[in-house]
Structure 1
């Protein structure tokens, strides 16, 4: 039977990682893999995470199952971080296997509620969004988002496209730090998106994977909170991988805002059912680390301070790269890099130019020219800038 399986297309980013490892050149630069790295190229364990793990190790007396939906302390604390004021009478939530698991569960939930659902997703978007929907057989429509000329949001085109979503459809939005482009909606633009969804009855699914990496914890949640305050039904997939640095612990949360308490209870039961079918009880260690940090003033303060250090490091690298490119190209065409937010920017380079960067300069990025700003440091920024200009980008 197993011999009947069809070969699966390899993941392009994982292939890029292996290619980078096999490159023996000194001074090669990895801008492909989507994880935060400090100036020494290390993805650190945050101070508050270390301390929280120590406390858990000292106090934990059992590894028995916890709760099908995940511990309430974790779900409540993370929902409050995302939403600010949590309307308890409308909010259902479940712990998931990372933010990816939250996206998958949200799409499963949407299909349970409406078997004819169509998902509207930005062009471009995180490749796993498309991969999951294709595997599930979910119909989806790509809406225009990124303007390759300005390297900003093509907002008029986006509005025209998402207005075509109907009642019961899902519009997948990036809460902040758009992956792969780094180009974000302004709060005024979020207002217009909400007005379109109010009129159409389509349900937003917000992927909030980088809260705290853009303009700050609260600022990065502004769009999500606006949507939650205005629309009767909202799905939010939150990830702790980046802002807590616990990638391998697979810690996520699916939040559903409903019209009323009765719908909340119905939704909570459906989400718990999906957990049971897909992985039974959710992972607990990462969730317990997060709740330990968020419910302790000292740990929370230290975590927020370190997260700010990370955010400001990224902003500093963006400003430095934009400045270097302005100087070398004698133009402002790369200033968008300083305006983008999060770990990624999309250069707008051709696949051939990306290949040139790799072959001639040992600079690795995804084929669509998404580069991970966190893969740089102050010494490698000038190297990248010169290579970009010499490649004719």
Structure 2
């Protein structure tokens, strides 16, 4: 049987990680891997998470399952974090998942059950794993225009025109904040137009919210998701705790649905639990337990929010430093968009050949589409990156 299997294409980011590891140059810079790093190149455990983990170790009395949907208290606190009071709790269904990726996969499974004929419309570009999962599941995909390489911003006219071509029951996949891989976000007014367009054609929005707190702050980053959930008849939301709680390896996420017709909640909640059962039975609890502890304790939550704000503002400072350095070296504002982007990533908008020159000539590693992880920089490496960008002619 196994002799019929075909080799799968190598993951480009994993291959980039290995190439960086094998590079003997001491001054090499890793801007490829999508995890937060501090100025020393480490991905630290957040103070509040560490304190919660110690408390959990002392207080936990069992490792028994919590339930197919996970601990209801985890869902309640995550719903509050993501949706606030934008919608009634009676309209929300939720299940814990293994990371945000698990939530995305479960969301697509839900779509396939509810409407086997649904087409999923995704931004061009989008997180590569969106496309990989959709291809594996056999769900049809149509891209909509999003990133403008010339301006480093959003091609909003193209985006609206393409979304308007979706059909009733189709899914429009949106990034809630900190667009990955471009860093280019919609304005509040543009979100309103997106909602109006989706509603006019009868499509269903699905939001991937992986970076809440990394852009303009916890509340501001949740704003678009809340606006969509409040304004659309149905919404699917996949949220991750990997980044804002720094618990990547604990695989902690949540899938939510919002339906203005609250009468569908019982069936929807049961369906989400059923999907959990089919895919991995009971979701992992350790990371979810830490999250609900941090969110439920006044002192831990205050410390978590303070540290998350330090992370956010630190990345904004690095962005502006890079934009300013490039302005000085280039004598123009053509890189100003880097200071306007939000989250960990920005996309330079250059060719794969220029990206390869950065690697070969300067030891700077980024994904071939020119996505770079701003969190991979520090005050010492920003000038080196800026000079390299100019040297290779970007």
TM-score range, shorter chain: over 0.9
- 1:197, CA displacement in angstroms? 1.3
CA distance in 2, matches of 1:47, 1:99: 22
1:310 aligned residue:
311
- 1:15, CA displacement in angstroms? 0.2
Say if 1:16 and 1:32, in contact at 8 Å, map to a contact too: yes
CA distance in 1, matches of 2:78, 2:66: 17
In the comparison of the two structures, how many residue pairs are matched?
A: 393
Structure 2: 5+ residue stretches without partners? none
- 1:3, CA displacement in angstroms? 1.7
CA distance in 2, matches of 1:318, 1:88: 38
CA distance in 2, matches of 1:78, 1:300: 13
Report SS of the residue matched to 1:95: strand
The reply on whether 1:67 has 2:67 as its aligned counterpart is yes
Report SS of the residue matched to 1:120: strand
CA distance in 1, matches of 2:261, 2:232: 12
1:361 aligned residue:
362
CA distance in 1, matches of 2:106, 2:162: 25
What are the superposed Cα offsets for residues 306-328 of structure 1, whole Å, 9 maximum, x if unpaired?
A: 00000000000000000000000
2:52 aligned residue:
52
1:84 aligned residue:
84
CA distance in 2, matches of 1:331, 1:88: 50
CA distance in 1, matches of 2:142, 2:11: 22
Say if 1:173 and 1:205, in contact at 8 Å, map to a contact too: yes
CA distance in 2, matches of 1:285, 1:222: 28
1:185 aligned residue:
186
Report SS of the residue matched to 1:255: strand
CA distance in 2, matches of 1:327, 1:170: 44
CA distance in 1, matches of 2:154, 2:69: 36
Say if 1:143 and 1:162, in contact at 8 Å, map to a contact too: yes
The reply on whether 1:277 has 2:269 as its aligned counterpart is no
- 1:225, CA displacement in angstroms? 0.6
The reply on whether 1:24 has 2:28 as its aligned counterpart is no
- 1:88, CA displacement in angstroms? 1.4
Say if 1:337 and 1:345, in contact at 8 Å, map to a contact too: yes
Which residues in structure 2 correspond to 1:211-250 (within 5 Å)?
A: 211-250=212-251
Say if 1:328 and 1:389, in contact at 8 Å, map to a contact too: yes
What are the superposed Cα offsets for residues 313-367 of structure 1, whole Å, 9 maximum, x if unpaired?
A: 0000000000000000111000000000000000011101000000000000000
- 1:182, CA displacement in angstroms? 0.2
- 1:259, CA displacement in angstroms? 3.0
What are the superposed Cα offsets for residues 102-148 of structure 1, whole Å, 9 maximum, x if unpaired?
A: 00000110110001000000000000000000000000100000001
CA distance in 2, matches of 1:163, 1:55: 51
Return the TM-score normalized by structure 2: 0.99
Say if 1:357 and 1:388, in contact at 8 Å, map to a contact too: yes
CA distance in 2, matches of 1:371, 1:168: 35
The farther-off stretch of 97-106 and 81-90 is: 81-90
CA RMSD of superposed structures (Å): 0.6
2:256 aligned residue:
255
CA distance in 1, matches of 2:310, 2:276: 35
- 1:198, CA displacement in angstroms? 1.5
CA distance in 1, matches of 2:363, 2:231: 48
CA distance in 2, matches of 1:168, 1:152: 29
1:391 aligned residue:
392
1:172 aligned residue:
173
CA distance in 2, matches of 1:143, 1:202: 14
Structure 1: 5+ residue stretches without partners? none
CA distance in 2, matches of 1:29, 1:320: 17
Say if 1:89 and 1:260, in contact at 8 Å, map to a contact too: no
- 1:261, CA displacement in angstroms? 2.7
What are the superposed Cα offsets for residues 10-56 of structure 1, whole Å, 9 maximum, x if unpaired?
A: 10000000000000011000000000000000000000000010111
1:15 aligned residue:
15
Which residues in structure 2 correspond to 1:367-378 (within 5 Å)?
A: 367-378=368-379
The farther-off stretch of 319-328 and 255-264 is: 255-264
